[in-house]
Structure 1
Amino acid sequence: MSEEEVTASDRLGTWFAKRFDTFRVAWEDWRFKTGLFVLGIFVLLGTVGVRVYPEPTMTVGVKWVEPFQSLTYPFGTTQYGQGIFAMLVHATPTMLEMVVGGAIFATGVGTIVGVTAGYKGGRVDSVMTTITDIAMMLPALPLIIVISSIFEPQRAFIVGILVSINAWAGGARALRSQVLTIREDSYVEASRIMGVPTSKILATDIVPQLLPLILVNLVMAGRAVIFNAVALYFLGVLPYTTVNWGVMLNLAYESGAVTTPRIFYTIAFPLATIVLFSWGLIMLAQGLDRVVNVRVRAETPEEYE
C-alpha cells in the first residue's frame, strides 16, 4: 500500500472518528434526544399514520363534536363534520415535504455561498457577501407573498423552497465566518501548496469541519418553513390544494373559534401541533449547539477530549 493510500485511509478514519464523537456529544444532551423523539412522531404520522388512519370526510350529523368524547373523533370535529385529528394526520406529509424542500434549499444555497466566499476571499468574497447582505435586508414575508401571487405554486416541495427564498443568507454568513478561520489551518494550507484542487479541499478539508453548524442551519431553516407556510396558507396567499395546518387555522378562524369558547378547540389543536413540531426542532438545534457553540464546549471540555 502506497504512502498516499495510507494517508487517505488515515484521514478518512480520523474524519469518521470525529463525526462519531460529534454526535455522541449531541446524543448525551436530553434536548437532542427529545427533539429526535418529537420529529420521529411526526415522521411516523406522515408515513404510517396516513395509511392506517382514515382520511377526513364531511359527515352529516357529527359537526362540532367536542374533543375526547369519541374514539372516532378524539380531537372533535369541525363545522363540516371532519375529524380534527384525521385532518392533522393527513396534513402532516404535506408539511414534512415543505420542511424538507425549504430546509434543503436554504441550507444548500447558504452552504455553497458561505463556504465559497470564505475560502476564495478577495473579489469573490466581496460580491457574495454583498448579495448575502441584500438577501438578509429584504423583508421576507412581503417578498414571499409577491412571488406566491405570481407563480401560485401547487407542489408542497416547491412551496417549501418558495417560503425559504432568502432564508439561506443567515446561514451563509455564519459559515463564511467559520471558513475564514479554517482556511488558515496548516492542513488546508498544505493541501493548497500540494496543488490539490479547490473542489477537493472544500469537500474533504473544509465542509466536514462545518457539518454540525450545517445541521443546525438545516434544522432552523425547517422551523422557519413551518411558520412561513402556515402563515401564507392562513392568509389565503397560497392555494388550498390539500388539507393543511394553515388551512385548518383559517377555517377555524372563519368559523369564529377565536371568540367562541365552545369551539375554540378547532383552532387550539392545530396551533398546539405547530408549536410542538417547532419545539421539537428547537430542541434538536439546541442539542447540536453543544457541538457548534465554542462557549458551551469550553464549559464542558471533558466531552471534547
Structure 2
Amino acid sequence: MTDHTIEDLLSDDEPTETPDDGDARTDGGSVTSPFDVVSQYEETRRDRYRKLYDAYVYAPVSIIWKDWRARIGFTIVAFYLLMGTVGPLLVDEAVVAEGPALAQPFENWAYPLGTDDMGRDLFSQVVNATPEMLKMITSGALFTVIVGTTVGGIAGYKGGTADTVLSSITDVFINIPAFPLVMVLALLLPIGGNPWVIGILLCVASWGGLARAIRSQVLTLRQEPFIEAARAIGVPTPKIVFKEIIPHLMPFVVINLTNAARRVIFEAAALYYLGILPFENLNWGVTLNLAYTAGAHYRPQALHWFIVPMVAIVFISIGLILLGQSLDRVFNPRVRARHEKTTEATEDPEEGDGTNTDVVGGL
C-alpha cells in the first residue's frame, strides 16, 4: 500500500469538488443557491418606527397633498369642523331684534350674511346650528357603516344558514321605503331634540345596500389563495377578517361613509323643513322652514334668508364628495405602496434601512 504525504493529498492531480454554480464563498462557507442574500443589517426600533410613520403618516399626507380634490375637500370639511367646535364659542346665538329686519348680505359686517325678518343674524344661526348637524352626521354615518359592514361581512364570510338569514333581513330593509319610514318613526318615537338619536333614526333603513355590496366583496375575497392559506393553517377568524379582509374593503367603506353623511344632511334638512322633526334645536332645515313660512322664496328682499342655509348644505356636501374620492386613493394599496417607496428611496442606506445587502452567487 502506497503511503501518501500531505503534499500529495493537497496536490492538483485530483480535482476539487465545487458547487454547481461555480462560485465559492469568500468567507469559507458553502454556497447552496445563487440567490442567497446575506443581510449586513438588523432592523432596530428606530427603523420600525420610521416604517410605521412612513406607512400611516407620510404616505397618506403625501397622497392628500398631491390630489387637488383632497386639498379642497379637506379644507371644506375642516372649515365646518372648526365652525362646529370653535364657532359657537366665538359667535353668540342669534337673538330677536339684534339688527335691522332683512338686512342684506355684506352690507353691514356686523351681520355678514344678513338678517331674517325678525332681525336675527343669519351667520350666527348657521354657525350655531353646525354642532347639532355634525352630531347627526357622525352618528348616522357610523351607524350605517358599522351595521352594513358587520352584517355583510358575516354573511359573506360564514355562508350557509348565517348567510341566508342575514341576506333575508338585508333584503327586507332594502325594500323598505326609507324616507317614509323615518317620517313615521319621527312622529311616533319620543326622540326629542337629541341629535345623536336623530342621526341613527335617519339611517335606520339605509345600511341594506352597503351590507349587500360588502357581502359580494367578501364572497370574492374568501376564495383568494391568501385567505384559504390563512384558514388552512388555523388563523383565527377575527384575525382573518380584521387583518386580511377589512383592509381590502376600506376604499369601498370610506366612499359609503361619505355618502351616508350626505344622506343624513339632506334628510335632516328635509324633515326639519317639512316640520316633522321637533324645532327644539337650531338647524339649517329649521332656518329653511322659517324662511319658507315667511314667504322668503318669492320676496326678493328676503331671498338671502332662503339661500344662506342652502349654500351651507351644498358646500359641506361638496366637501364630503371630494374628500371621499381622495380617501379612496389613500386606502388603495398600490397608491400607498408607491408613496411609501418614495421615502425609502430617499433614505441613506447607511442609516440602516435594510437595503445594504450582499447578493452572492454571481448575480
Q: Distance in 1 between matches of 2:209 and 2:51?
A: 30
Does 1:30 pair with 2:68? yes
Which of 84, 93, 102 lines up with 2:140 in the alignment? 102
Q: Distance in 2 between matches of 1:272 and 1:31?
A: 19
Which of 63, 67, 81 lines up with 2:101 in the alignment? 63
Does 1:88 pair with 2:92? no
Does 1:198 pair with 2:231? no
Q: Distance in 1 between matches of 2:339 and 2:163?
A: 35
Could you tell which deviates more after superposition, 60-69 or 113-122?
60-69
Which of 201, 207, 214 lines up with 2:253 in the alignment? 214
Q: Distance in 2 between matches of 1:52 and 1:209?
A: 42
Asked whether the 8 Å contact 1:152–1:239 carries over to 2, the reply is: no
Q: Determine the structure 2 residue equivalent to 1:143.
A: 181
Could you tell which deviates more after superposition, 187-196 or 103-112?
187-196
Asked whether the 8 Å contact 2:155–2:215 carries over to 1, the reply is: yes
Q: Distance in 2 between matches of 1:43 and 1:184?
A: 41
Does 1:227 pair with 2:266? yes
Q: Determine the structure 2 residue equivalent to 1:186.
A: 225
Q: Tell me the SS of whatever aligns to 2:297.
A: coil
Q: Which residue type is aligned with residue 260 of structure 2?
A: A
Asked whether the 8 Å contact 1:64–1:77 carries over to 2, the reply is: yes
Q: Determine the structure 2 residue equivalent to 1:132.
A: 170
Q: CA deviation at 1:303?
A: 7.6
Q: Distance in 2 between matches of 1:106 and 1:23?
A: 27
Asked whether the 8 Å contact 2:136–2:200 carries over to 1, the reply is: yes
1:96–1:199 Cα change, 3 Å? same
Q: CA deviation at 1:117?
A: 1.1
Where does structure 1 lack aligned partners over 5 or more consecutive residues? 1-5, 7-11
Could you tell which deviates more after superposition, 148-157 or 60-69?
60-69
Q: CA deviation at 1:75?
A: 0.7
TM normalised by structure 2 equals 0.74
Asked whether the 8 Å contact 1:61–1:81 carries over to 2, the reply is: yes
Q: CA deviation at 1:287?
A: 2.1
Q: Determine the structure 2 residue equivalent to 1:9.
A: none
Q: Which residue type is aligned with residue 245 of structure 1?
A: W
Q: Distance in 1 between matches of 2:121 and 2:194?
A: 24
Q: Determine the structure 1 residue equivalent to 2:114.
A: 76
1:16–1:144 Cα change, 3 Å? farther
Q: CA deviation at 1:289?
A: 4.1
Could you tell which deviates more after superposition, 15-24 or 98-107?
15-24
Q: CA deviation at 1:186?
A: 2.3
Asked whether the 8 Å contact 1:152–1:238 carries over to 2, the reply is: no
Asked whether the 8 Å contact 2:102–2:119 carries over to 1, the reply is: yes
Q: Which residue type is aligned with residue 272 of structure 1?
A: V
Q: Distance in 2 between matches of 1:114 and 1:160?
A: 21
Q: Determine the structure 1 residue equivalent to 2:291.
A: 252
- Measured against aligned partners, the alpha-carbon deviations of 1:26-73 in whole angstroms (never above 9, x if no partner) come to 553211221111000000101111101121111266221111111111
Q: Determine the structure 2 residue equivalent to 1:166.
A: 205
1:246–1:195 Cα change, 3 Å? same
Q: Which residue type is aligned with residue 172 of structure 1?
A: A
Q: CA deviation at 1:288?
A: 3.2
Q: Determine the structure 2 residue equivalent to 1:113.
A: 151
1:70–1:53 Cα change, 3 Å? same
Q: Distance in 2 between matches of 1:29 and 1:169?
A: 32
Q: CA deviation at 1:13?
A: 10
Asked whether the 8 Å contact 2:140–2:203 carries over to 1, the reply is: yes
Supply the RMSD in Å over aligned alpha carbons: 2.7
Q: Tell me the SS of whatever aligns to 1:33.
A: helix
Asked whether the 8 Å contact 2:103–2:115 carries over to 1, the reply is: yes
Q: Determine the structure 2 residue equivalent to 1:288.
A: 327
1:90–1:213 Cα change, 3 Å? same
Q: CA deviation at 1:185?
A: 2.1
Does 1:237 pair with 2:276? yes
1:143–1:250 Cα change, 3 Å? same
Q: Distance in 1 between matches of 2:284 and 2:176?
A: 27
Q: Which residue type is aligned with residue 156 of structure 1?
A: P
Q: CA deviation at 1:16?
A: 8.5
Q: Distance in 1 between matches of 2:55 and 2:216?
A: 21
Q: Distance in 1 between matches of 2:171 and 2:203?
A: 16
Point out the structure with the larger helix share.
1
TM normalised by structure 1 equals 0.87
Q: CA deviation at 1:291?
A: 6.2
Q: CA deviation at 1:25?
A: 4.1
Asked whether the 8 Å contact 1:234–1:250 carries over to 2, the reply is: yes
Q: How many residues align?
A: 291
